[in-house]
Structure 1
């Protein structure tokens, strides 16, 4: 029961007791007044009858006396008039019973009136003849008493209703600070730290609100400091201090993953710029001028890529590197020419020429990092060998006979899998580090091509997107999971995590609404089902990310972030989306064992997550040494070959 309701009940009881007292007093006073009025009327009537009755009795004319009585009785104000002799004998008596209209019988019984009689002595000169007794008719008194009490009750009830409304309004105003504190406390539970803006006038409440706001502000400051620290560690670990681009370590960690994201049967391009004899230029002109040249060249890449490149990095001291996925062959040549023209403008201002070369390397899905970088280096050396101030375009394509051959075959394989639901699903355990309990099983999809090996989702999903089949493939996989999930023996009663992306159906508002509607089939299992989205997709579509996370929470499902930790705004991301868990990317887990600054960055992210009650999961754990490092860092859970390889469940 709320405090406001208790206040209202208490005040209502108090007011009710007061009303009952007032009503009882009104009943008592009105009754006394009516009885006094009846007695007064009876006495006045008895006094008025003394003269006519005395004259009649003086003449021994009883009939004349009765006539006087009857004339008064006919006015209907009296119930009984009686003439009593000195001996006590009734000489004449008349009475009448008037019906009591408009008054309930129970009220008459409850408020029974016994009117006091009015008496007067009868005499003929000095001779006493007897007395006359008059009793008033109570019917009108009952009616008057009933009307007064009903009107009084109506007024009291109206006063009660008005007072109740006023009390409700006053209690609401009085308890507004507590409502604001309750609302703010609920927001804290939702990991939103908003202070109470309106300060109450009541001194005690004002002090409580001020103390609460101080607590909220300290929590916000702590999270902001940890977020800033995490971003600073990331900047130190993965950003080149001279150019502001990603450094070589960041490139090494991310390049393999980016190369796998290129859709099958598509062409990507790597652009590289190398400044020849930069060290000699630094010695001759000074390091400040050399750094200024590097910054200008970095700005060229940033400007030409128009922020559409997934990676722009400083490969080494004299070489800058960038990737681009969304260009045709003609656009690749055009961008290479634009980069070359910009470099000519930069070097034209120098007193002594600075040689440079531009390399363009085409690659396909599956190209190895080592192959791409070696081909890039060869192309740069050829450009510089030809005299510099030129560009060289080469190819680093690799193919696999185990994959569908060509775009048309990919389409046929995907359409057949969607129609027949011929997918495979594997589960890999996520284990709590402290008690070794299973947190959940992560499900991943696979596709069979003829009699060859299974094809991972990282290969077939990009091709589904290319052919406009991504939404159909997602629906087919989801329907399969729904129909088979409860029948998978290895998953009975366990929590599971499903991969979701914002590139297909979930990349639109309508698609998200339809997806959540379809989740109703799994409503009874919602508490043990989570959906996880890669960090880079959440960063690319923040509005869709926020909406999807909110829809999942409202429906009772869990929400997680996969491949977490690379984004510069990683700490801010979890504060905004409030996931149930984050899976720290396996490349960062491997790198922190070698580089202290990576470890410090991850520790900061863990502290931010812990402050928000978000579970942290380390991916790619394969050795006991990695496990020992995780335990020292207080990471909650882990996933990797150390606890088990993926197993077939469907």
Structure 2
């Protein structure tokens, strides 16, 4: 029972006791007053009638006395009037046998009214000849007492109701801070840092709220400190100080993950820009000007090759690059040409009139399965070719040896696959430390007309270019829902589905998705989005995640920890889980900076009660390294390659 109800019951009980006592006291006083009135009425009648009878009294002829008694009896309300002689022998008695009507018997029994008898002597001269006895009838007294009781009960009931209502209102106002404190405590349990701005006026409540606010502020400070610490470690380990781009270590970690076939990565393009004669510029104008020049070139690179999923890095003092997943190098030629011609404007912005510095830009495509060394060799060859081009045309695109499918061919392939539903779901299971299944990540495969099964990296770049991604997302969701009845998942098992940028930014897609989320479906599905989408579209992602969580659907962030910047958004988004970027796995054993940075991410996630999953784990040593840091769920080829979701 709530405190407010207990207090209301106590106040109501106390009030009822007080009112009941007052009620009974008033009734008793009224009864005493009425008894006194009956005594006075009887005595007055006895005295006056006794004198009257004395003047006409004749013991031998009582008829005159009877006449006078009858006259008085008829004018008043008496129980009886009696005349006796001096020896106590009855001369005459007049009685009223009427019962009291309209009053409950229990009331008369509980509150009995005693009607006293009054006596008076009847005498002739100085000689007593008899005694007159008069007793008033209590009927009117009972009626008066009954009416008084009803009126008192009515007014006391109204007073009690008004008092209880006022007490409830006052308690509601007084205890309102308790409700706010309850919400604040529940928020603390959810690791949400909610402060109460309005302090209660009640001293005790004010002290409690102030203490809770201080605790919440301290907890928020701890999380902010952890977030800043993680950000600082990330910058030290992976960010170039001059340009703000990824350094070579970060590039190698990410490109290795992108080239690893086991990570379900897609093909893409890479642009390498080499700054020629930078040393001459440094010698002429100083290293500060040289650093500013490199920073402006880096900004121009990000501007011309802008993409949410792109990776921008500085390989060394004179080489910058942009990695563009899901892009074809051929489509980036205009950007490469513009970048190769950007140097004069950059020098002019620094008020440098003459300098031999120029830019050479090379473009190549890459495919998962290529080695990093082979990729860098191709880039170096492309840049050398670019240096051989005429001035203002110092860019070079190296086409692939294998001719890719044409735009129209891909259009036909994907349209046919979507229409014929020639997609298959594979799964890669994330296991908890006790070898129990934590979740099953769904991976899409395309089955061509010859029966060959292709991974997402084969067709996703074309699907993105042809705006087919959202349609494929819908197919994945429909196939997953259709498979649920046959999978017989445990209550804590989920199928996790990656949502693309195209789907997330489509309002119709969100409405369509929610229409499918029945309770039985929702409890076994989880949706995750890449960290790049979270940081570039925070409001849209926040709304979607909150909507999904209200339907009891798990939400997660994929490829986490790779974006430079503040991670405080985790406090507001509060995903159910995060999946670490696959690039951290290869360095988790030996690289101390990677180890420290991942440890800070884990600590930050644990502070918010967010599950953390290590990805692309391939060796037992990697599993043990993550477990030593506190990660209890891992996913990757260590447990085997992806397998079909449905058998057969």
**What TM-score results when the alignment is normalised by the length of structure 1?**
0.88
Shift of 1:220: 0.8
Q: Deviations over 1:443-466 (max 9, x none)?
A: 333221123432234544565555
2:496 maps to which of 495, 498, 519: 498
Match for residue 637 of structure 2 among 633, 637, 641: 641
Quick one: distance in 2 between partners of 1:424 and 1:629?
Answer: 34
Q: CA RMSD in A?
A: 3.4
Q: How many residues align?
A: 639
Residue 326 of structure 1, CA deviation: 10
Deviation at 1:379, TM superposition (A): 3.6
Matched-pair contact (CA < 8 Å) for 1:620–1:640: yes
Give the match's secondary structure for 2:486. coil
Tell which deviates more after alignment, 463-472 or 234-243. Answer: 463-472
Query: C-alpha separation between the residues in 1 aligned to 2:453 and 2:644?
Result: 12
Work out whether residues 366 and 399 of structure 1, in 8 Å CA contact, stay in contact via their aligned partners in 2.
Answer: no
What whole-Å deviation, never above 9, does each CA across 1:203-239 have from its counterpart, x for those lacking one?
Answer: 4333333322222111111100000011111122221
Match of 1:67 in 2: 67
Instruction: Tell me, in whole angstroms, the C-alpha distance in 2 between the residues paired with 1:332 and 1:644.
Output: 37
* Residues 123, 130 of structure 1: 8 Å contact kept: yes
Are the aligned partners of 1:579 and 1:614 in contact in 2 as well (CA < 8 Å)?
Answer: yes
| Pairwise CA distance, 1:611 | 1.0
Could you say which residue in structure 1 is the equivalent of 2:119? 119
- Residue in structure 1 matched with residue 505 of structure 2 by the alignment: 507
Say which SS state the counterpart of residue 530 (structure 1) adopts. strand
**Helix, strand or coil at the partner of 2:219:** helix
Shift of 1:126: 1.0
> Which of 513, 537, 541 is residue 537 of structure 2 equivalent to?
541
CA distance in 2, matches of 1:222, 1:608: 9
Residue 440 of structure 1 corresponds to: 439
Counterpart in 1 of 2:51? Answer: 51
Question: How many angstroms apart in 1 are the aligned matches of 2:300 and 2:582?
Answer: 32
* Aligned with 2:358 (options 338, 353, 356): 356
Provide the residue aligned with 1:144 in structure 2: 144
Q: Distance in 2 between matches of 1:24 and 1:520?
A: 63
Greater shift in the superposed pair: 459-468 or 577-586: 459-468
- Partner of residue 377, structure 1: 380
Q: Establish whether residue 37 from structure 1 lines up as the match of residue 40 from structure 2.
A: no
2: CA distance, partners of 1:235 / 1:610: 22
CA apart distance, 1:162: 1.9
CA distance in 2, matches of 1:641, 1:606: 22
Q: 3-state SS of the aligned residue for 1:592?
A: coil
Find the counterpart in structure 2 of residue 166 from structure 1.
Answer: 166
Question: Do the aligned partners of 2:268 and 2:326 also contact (CA within 8 Å) in 1?
Answer: yes
Deviations for 1:403-449, whole angstroms, at most 9, x for unmatched residues? 9982332233322343xxx432233322223x333323333332211
- 1:372 and 1:396 in contact (8 A); partners too: no
Is the CA contact (8 Å cut-off) linking 1:431 and 1:638 kept in structure 2?
A: yes
The structural deviation recorded for 1:49 is 1.0
Tell me how far apart the structure 2 counterparts of residues 481 and 36 of structure 1 sit (CA, whole Å).
Answer: 93
Residue 260 of structure 1 contacts residue 365 of structure 1 at CA under 8 Å; is this kept in 2?
Answer: no
- Deviates most, 465-474 or 620-629: 465-474
Task: Spell out, residue by residue over 1:169-215, the C-alpha distance to the aligned partner (whole angstroms, 9 max, x if none).
Answer: 33334333433321111111222112232333444333333322222
Alignment of 1:252-263 (within 5 A): 252-255=252-255
Label 1:296 to 1:442 Cα distance change in 2 as closer, same or farther (>3 A): closer
Cα deviations by residue, 1:563-619 (Å, 9 ceiling, x for unpaired): 211122473232222122211122122133343222221111111111111121111
| Greater displacement, 613-622 / 22-31 | 22-31
SS at match of 1:74: helix
Separation (CA, whole Å) in 1 of partners of 2:178 and 2:371: 60
Render the CA deviation track for 1:131-154: whole Å, top value 9, x for unaligned. Answer: 222222222212211121111112
- The aligned runs of 1:111-510 (5 Å cut-off) are 111-255=111-255, 270-304=270-304, 310-322=310-322, 335-336=335-336, 338-348=338-348, 349-350=351-352, 352-359=354-361, 361=363, 363=365, 373-386=376-389, 388-397=391-400, 406-418=409-421, 422-433=422-433, 435-460=434-459, 463-464=462-463, 467=466, 469-488=468-487, 491=489, 495-510=493-508
Query: Relative to 1, partners in 2 of residues 1:279 and 1:574: Cα closer, same or farther, differing over 3 Å?
Result: same
In structure 2, the CA distance between the partners of 1:463 and 1:126, relative to structure 1 (3 Å rule), is farther
Q: 1:618 aligns to what? A: 614
Where does residue 22 of structure 1 map in the other structure? 22
Deviation at 1:280, TM superposition (A): 3.6
Query: Any conservation in 1 of the 2:340–2:395 contact (CA below 8 Å)?
Result: no
Q: Return the alpha-carbon distance in structure 1 between the equivalents of residues 57 and 66 of structure 2.
A: 10
CA distance in structure 1 between the partners assigned to 2:460 and 2:82 by the alignment: 115
- For residue 390 of structure 1, report the CA deviation from its aligned partner: 3.5
Q: Please report how far the alpha carbon of residue 402 of structure 1 lies from its aligned counterpart in structure 2 after TM superposition.
A: 10
State whether residues 473 and 499 of structure 2, in contact with CA within 8 Å, keep that contact through their aligned partners in structure 1.
no
Q: TM-score, normalised by structure 2?
A: 0.88
Q: Distance in 2 between matches of 1:158 and 1:452?
A: 85
Is the 1:404–1:449 Cα contact (8 Å) retained in structure 2? no
Contact 2:308 2:536 in 1 (8 A): no
Q: Using the alignment, how far apart are the partners of 1:641 and 1:256 within structure 2?
A: 16
Alignment CA distance shift 1:146-1:505 (3 Å) = farther
